[in-house]
Amino acid sequence: MSADIKKPGTEAGEANRVTELFGENVFSIKTMRNYLGEKACNSLVATICQGHSLDPSIADEVADAMKTWAISRGATHFTHWFQPLTGATAEKHEAFVVPDGNGGALMQFSGKELIQGEPDASSFPSGGLRSTFEARGYTAWDPTSPAFIKEGVNSATLCIPTVFFGYHGESLDKKVPLLRSMDALSAQIDRLGRLFGIKTAARAYATLGPEQEYFLIDREYFDARLDLLQTGRTLFGRKPAKHQQMEDHYFGAIKNRVLSFMEDLDLELWRLGIPARTRHNEVCPAQFEIAPIFEELNLAIDHNMLVMDTLRQVAEKHDFVCLLHEKPFAGVNGSGKHNNWSICGPDGKNWLSPGSNPREDAKFLTMICVLMQAVDKHADLLRASVASARNDHRLGANEAPPAIVSIFLGEELTDVIAQLEKGESREKNGTATLHLGVSSLPRLAKDMTDRNRTSPFAFTGNKFEFRAVGSNQSCALPMTVLNTIVAESLDQICSRIEAELAKGVAFNAALQMVLADISHKHKRILFNGDNYTAEWRKEAARRGLPNIRATPEALKALTKKESVAMFEKYKVFSPREIESRYEVYLHEYLKTVQIEAQCAGTVARTMIIPAALEYQNRLGATLTSLKTGGVKASKSTRDLLSQVARLTDDALVAALALEKAVSAESTDKMLTGMAALRAAADELEGLVPHDLWPLPSYAEMLFMM
């Protein structure tokens, strides 16, 4: 880590260094021009930019160029970097080095090794897609995401982003379905574009800017908490007097130790070509956020996986631990990953931005209706796409988007949608208007950004923001689902318009009719109020919007008949693939809760209950010495002992019940068991002397840095 760039931009020389460093660890288009012949380079650029399939005859040349570049950056190894269903990234390093037959060595890397790998993949979750006797898994280069260098302690590794699939071509990872969903979306966007008279010039694609929240705590405290070490969240901990209620941390001045971490982090990300842009303190003390500039979806997701890796690694260098869990601390804010999503059309324009002319406004309104229909029809699938034991603690708590999926459009846009439905004409004198069949709506304002922080799916001016995604989750599944439901919605809307046109109806009138109908049918998904309130939960129930609190229930949406058919129709998941995912995620849920329950039992039995018993001893000794000294023990002293004894007993009883629930593999009972155990333990924490309490407190973890 170079220390000579502590304050980028403070001096001209240093600012220049940043532009020099940016992307230095990426085999980018710019870099490859220095290492590849013109013909190979152009062919590869076409693959990357236009999605043409890779010309196998250039593979050897590309591999050689990559190797030469990687070695110049200190690489000794290469790896196919992929994203199995564990939700993390995976890599198996292979050295470039091969003996030359004369006692020396050569550095080799062939086109074949670049294009395809066969890691022994039998231990990755596949949800029954592979039995161990046909456990082969293959990785194949995804040239749309550039190769990059990961620096180790003394050398480096060339990482090649790859997809991961089984012997029969079935997807075993998060990337294959994502890429397929992007194809489906792109095709339907082109189709709508044609209806609007847009010639397909380039490939349409989705864009993503993920805002990443995280906690930092001092390594010393982390090491002293078995629960954090094993589960990523605190299973015990009494809420301190001061936590986030003063709201003095949000956007506050960043402490030096944290700032120094952030400076290193940005630098490392820039070197990987990740456009880290904003950094700030979040609502809860010890909570922070980093957001990049948005990028093409596939790349943005790979980059977010690298951001999470880099957060953890840089934290370590600063004696912090970065907690990416969705709810590391009970009772204060959890961490999300707001997925800002939009579409860059074949015209190169953002299709979720109100246009510069009435035609573009009409296309924009169509897209809003596309989203309304998609989200209303498949709210349960979006919920399923972010379901995990960890995120369950966050969704539905009163500080995070609720498990009820609704759309926030802001008052102005909601009003326009309502006018659309009624076919009203609210033309203001002299202002430009947008004629859609019978409606003639005022031209849309460029900036309709309202602020609503409580909606799970909010329109924020020129993009939608899906906020239910958890901080630790890969964006891949939620984005795959979003792309697919939007592709389906576009498909249906285009078909309806095309059918009207075939009957001889004029385009604007056909559009008006279809959009009015969608607005009518799907307006129940719109909600601009406070999503955290009990009134909204009631209102949502009245509207028939699903409110699915727990993961096992939520996951069922994946294998519903309609979902399976849709995924199959748009070639995103085969029925077997989606079934296998359901199994993997359900199993992951069970395992997560089991580990937590067992860990809670261990911490209670080996740390908390012994400390409470020790305090009972001390109190008992006090009573004995009072008696010996001829002093009558007061009622409050005796009461204290009985209170501690009662709570200790509560904790023991709860620990026993929890152990039974673990043996019975009942996740519901494990969750209630942990809650009961925690209640007793947290109360004890408020009574047992600090020097006896075995775990660092919330106050220490959240405030001492």
Q: Which is nearer to ligand ADP, 166 or 292 (CB)?
A: 292
The answer to whether residue 293 forms part of the interface with ligand ADP (CB under 6 A) is: yes
Beta-carbon count within 10 A of 305 CB:
19
The one among 292, 437, 456, 478 contacting ligand ADP by CB under 6 A: 292
The one among 230, 452, 462, 598 contacting ligand ADP by CB under 6 A: 462
C-alpha closest to that of 522 among 506, 500, 545, 548: 545
Q: Which is nearer to ligand ADP, 165 or 294 (CB)?
A: 294
Give the largest CA-CA distance in the chain.
Answer: 105
| Residues in CB range of 633: below 8 A, 6 or more apart | 622, 623, 626, 627
The answer to whether residue 354 forms part of the interface with ligand ADP (CB under 6 A) is: no
Q: Which is nearer to Mg ion, 338 or 522 (CB)?
A: 338
Site for ligand ADP in 269-288 (CB under 6 A): 278
Per-residue 3-state assignment (H helix, E strand, C coil) for 505-536 = CCHHHHHHHHHHHHHHHHHHHECCCCCCCHHH
Q: Which residue stretch of 43-51, 291-299, 495-503, 543-551 sits at the interface with ligand ADP (rule: CB under 6 A)?
A: 291-299
Q: Which residue stretch of 201-209, 408-416, 613-621, 658-666 sits at the interface with ligand ADP (rule: CB under 6 A)?
A: 201-209
C-alpha closest to that of 174 among 90, 269, 79, 115: 90
- 512's contact among Mg ion, ligand ADP, none, with CB below 5 to 8 A by partner kind, is none
Helices 175-195 and 297-317 pack at an angle, to 10 degrees, of: 140
Placement of tokens 């008052």 in the chain: 411
> Smallest gap, in angstroms, from Cβ of residue 211 to Mg ion?
5
DSSP assignments along 146-183, one per residue: --EEEE-SSSEEEEEEEEEEETTS-B-BSHHHHHHHHH
- 463's contact among Mg ion, ligand ADP, none, with CB below 5 to 8 A by partner kind, is ligand ADP
- 294's contact among ligand ADP, Mg ion, none, with CB below 5 to 8 A by partner kind, is ligand ADP
For residues 99 and 97, give the distance between their C-alpha atoms in angstroms, rounded to a whole number: 7
Cross-strand pairs, 321: 217
The one among 64, 142, 173, 211 contacting ligand ADP by CB under 6 A: 211
> Smallest gap, in angstroms, from Cβ of residue 298 to ligand ADP?
13
Q: Which is nearer to ligand ADP, 363 or 463 (CB)?
A: 463
Mask for 504-543, x = binds ligand ADP (CB under 6 A): ----------------------------------------
| Residues in CB range of 643: below 8 A, 6 or more apart | 687
The one among 59, 65, 198, 208 contacting ligand ADP by CB under 6 A: 208
Q: Which residue stretch of 265-273, 334-342, 407-415, 597-605 sits at the interface with ligand ADP (rule: CB under 6 A)?
A: 334-342
Type of residue numbered 45 = V
Beta-carbon count within 10 A of 421 CB:
17
Beta-carbon count within 10 A of 451 CB:
8
For residues 619 and 633, give the distance between their C-alpha atoms in angstroms, rounded to a whole number: 11
Q: Which is nearer to ligand ADP, 340 or 391 (CB)?
A: 340
For residues 364 and 461, give the distance between their C-alpha atoms in angstroms, rounded to a whole number: 11
Placement of tokens 């990443």 in the chain: 212
For residues 238 and 278, give the distance between their C-alpha atoms in angstroms, rounded to a whole number: 32
Residues near Mg ion (CB under 5 A) are 211, 338
> Smallest gap, in angstroms, from Cβ of residue 453 to ligand ADP?
9
The answer to whether residue 310 forms part of the interface with ligand ADP (CB under 6 A) is: no
The answer to whether residue 342 forms part of the interface with ligand ADP (CB under 6 A) is: yes
- 462's contact among Mg ion, ligand ADP, none, with CB below 5 to 8 A by partner kind, is ligand ADP
The one among 48, 163, 284, 291 contacting ligand ADP by CB under 6 A: 291
Q: Are strands 295-296 and 439-442 parallel, antiparallel or unpaired?
A: unpaired
Distances (CA, A) of 497 to 366, 493, 502, 508, 642: 11, 6, 9, 10, 75
Mask for 127-156, x = binds ligand ADP (CB under 6 A): ------------------------------
Strands (E), 125-273: 137-141, 148-151, 156-166, 205-218
The one among 117, 127, 209, 601 contacting ligand ADP by CB under 6 A: 209
The answer to whether residue 207 forms part of the interface with ligand ADP (CB under 6 A) is: yes
For residues 378 and 572, give the distance between their C-alpha atoms in angstroms, rounded to a whole number: 15
Q: Which is nearer to ligand ADP, 211 or 596 (CB)?
A: 211
Q: Which is nearer to ligand ADP, 66 or 189 (CB)?
A: 189
The answer to whether residue 463 forms part of the interface with ligand ADP (CB under 6 A) is: yes
- 531's contact among Mg ion, ligand ADP, none, with CB below 5 to 8 A by partner kind, is none
Name the site residues for ligand ADP (rule: CB under 6 A): 207-209, 211, 278, 291-294, 340-342, 350, 462-463
